[in-house]
């Protein structure tokens, strides 16, 4: 694990990003060769619900960007009013155990990859972002959200329990007190409410405005050593990932979830 952590930022310094663009069915990745900023766009209509295939593509996209010399990556959606509706309900309805296991693993891997990128990340939240959609944005370092949409971890409202790494991601962003109030009530915040509690860092008029603000965020690091930056990010986020990735409790929790899902 440690070798992976230390090798990546060094390797990115030797790779060019110019003229890069790749589009798979569910995720589009483009890198602006003038700014060096990558945009990762989820494109799974109607609501970008996170199924196994989308998660695998997302994880791959963010991992691949680790080998390119980019200034930062923006996560956004191709849909007009939805960032992501969260986990695909169909993945949780009577799944085969192998599929359920692969699905949960892909969700956690994607979260870990985005949470841990060596390069800066911003979620340009251009639509509703409940539950797993909110989790994806929390994995990024900065959130810019278009006005008049909703975001939050609303699992309790659905009668389900957010895994503790969802909770940890929320607590990494807003206060423990606000997290408790939000999670226990399954609160979905409107954009301006989310801004007030710090769940989003900036609000935007529309997607273009959100993308422009996201791009501006990266200029904060113009005079910062990227390796020092990444190691500092790891210092701040590493413990959360360790808990999410390795603990016995997590494995038990996952077994419990799969067991629950396969019985419904
Ligand atoms: C099930 C028990 C499991 C037990 C184990 C529990 C473990 C818990 C672990 C993890 C936590 C869970 C995290 C999650 O992410 S759960 C998913 C939470 N998501 C939501 O609550 C969002 C629900 N959707 C909405 O609120 C709205 O759809 C919207 C705001 C995103 C969009 O609204 P609108 O534009 O009005 O569109 P529609 O509502 O008409 O939807 C269009 C279309 O899309 C389908 N759809 C919506 N959300 C999902 C989804 N999450 N998965 C799959 N499909 C979805 C919707 O059904 C419509 O389909 P159509 O009727 O066929 O057109």
Q: Is 221's pLDDT higher than 80? A: yes
> Helix, strand or coil for residue 52?
helix
* Mean pLDDT confidence for 110-118: 97
Q: What is the mean pLDDT of residues 98-122?
A: 95
Both structure tokens of 73: 């990556």
pLDDT-derived band at 21 (thresholds 50, 70, 90) equals confident
What pLDDT was estimated at residue 17? Answer: 41
In 3-state terms, what secondary structure has residue 262? helix
pLDDT above 50 (res 5)? no
Catalytic residue, chosen from 65, 87, 107, 135, is 87
Rounded to the nearest angstrom, the distance between the alpha carbon of 130 and the centre of ligand 1 is 9
- Residue 46 Cα to ligand 1 midpoint, Å, equals 10
Looking at residue 22, its pLDDT comes to 75
Q: Report pLDDT digits (tens) over 144-183.
A: 999 999 999 999 999 999 999 999 999 999 999 999 999 9
Checking if the pLDDT of 4 tops 60, the result is: no
**Phi, psi dihedral angles at 84 (to 5 degrees):** -160, 135
Helix, strand or coil for residue 76? strand
Active site residue 72: no
Q: What is the mean pLDDT of residues 257-261?
A: 59
- Best substitution site from 42, 44, 46 to test ligand 1's pocket, by max atoms within 8 Å of Cβ? 46
Structure tokens at 95: 């799944």
Give the closest residue (by CA) to ligand 1 atom 42. 46
Give the active site residue among 91, 155, 178, 215: 155
**Beta carbons within 10 angstroms of residue 195's beta carbon:** 18
Burial 215-249 (b: 16+ CB within 10 A, else e): bebbeeeeeeebeebbbebbeebeebbeebeeeee
- pLDDT over 90 at 24, yes or no: no
Q: What is the pLDDT of residue 2?
A: 29
Q: What ligand 1 atom has the least distance to the C-alpha of 154? A: 21
Read off the tokens for 204: 């935007």
What is the CB < 6 Å shell around ligand 1? 46-47, 49, 81-82, 85-90, 92, 128, 130-132, 154-155, 158, 160, 162-163, 257, 260-261, 264
Query: Using an 8 Å Cβ cutoff, are 198 and 177 in contact?
Result: no
| pLDDT score at 258 | 58
| 3-state secondary structure at position 251 | helix
Query: Is the preceding peptide bond at 46 cis, omega within 30 degrees of 0?
Result: yes
Question: Is 87 an active-site residue?
Answer: yes
Distance 49 CA to ligand 1 centre (A): 7
Task: Say if CB 54 and CB 87 are below 8 A apart.
Answer: no
Interface confidence (ipTM) of the complex:
0.95
Q: Residue 206, Cβ neighbours under 10 Å: how many?
A: 11
Give the pLDDT of residue 16: 40
């Amino acid at each position: 694990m440690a070798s992976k952590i230390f090798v990546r930022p060094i390797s990115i310094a030797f790779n060019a990003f110019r003229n890069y663009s790749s589009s798979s069915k569910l995720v589009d990745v483009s890198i602006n060769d003038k700014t060096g900023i990558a945009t990762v766009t989820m494109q799974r209509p109607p609501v970008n619900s996170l199924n196994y295939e989308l998660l695998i593509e997302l994880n791959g996209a963010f991992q691949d960007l680790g080998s390119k010399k980019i200034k930062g990556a923006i996560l956004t959606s191709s849909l007009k009013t939805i960032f992501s509706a969260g986990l695909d309900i169909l993945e949780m309805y009577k799944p085969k155990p192998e599929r359920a296991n692969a699905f949960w693993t892909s969700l956690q891997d994607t979260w870990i990859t985005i949470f841990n990128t060596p390069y800066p990340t911003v979620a340009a939240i251009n639509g509703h972002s409940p539950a797993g959609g909110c989790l994806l944005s929390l994995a990024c370092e900065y959130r810019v959200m278009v006005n008049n949409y909703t975001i939050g971890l609303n699992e309790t409202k659905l009668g389900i329990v957010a895994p503790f790494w969802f909770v940890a991601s929320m607590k990494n962003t807003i206060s423990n007190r606000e997290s408790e109030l939000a999670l226990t009530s399954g609160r979905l915040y409107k954009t301006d409410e989310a801004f007030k509690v710090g769940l989003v860092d900036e609000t935007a008029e529309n997607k273009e405005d959100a993308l422009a603000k996201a791009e501006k965020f990266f200029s904060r690091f113009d005079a910062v050593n990227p390796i020092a930056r990444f190691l500092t990010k790891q210092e701040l986020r590493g413990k959360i990932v360790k808990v999410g990735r390795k603990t016995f409790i997590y494995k038990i929790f996952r077994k419990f979830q799969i067991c629950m899902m396969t019985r419904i």
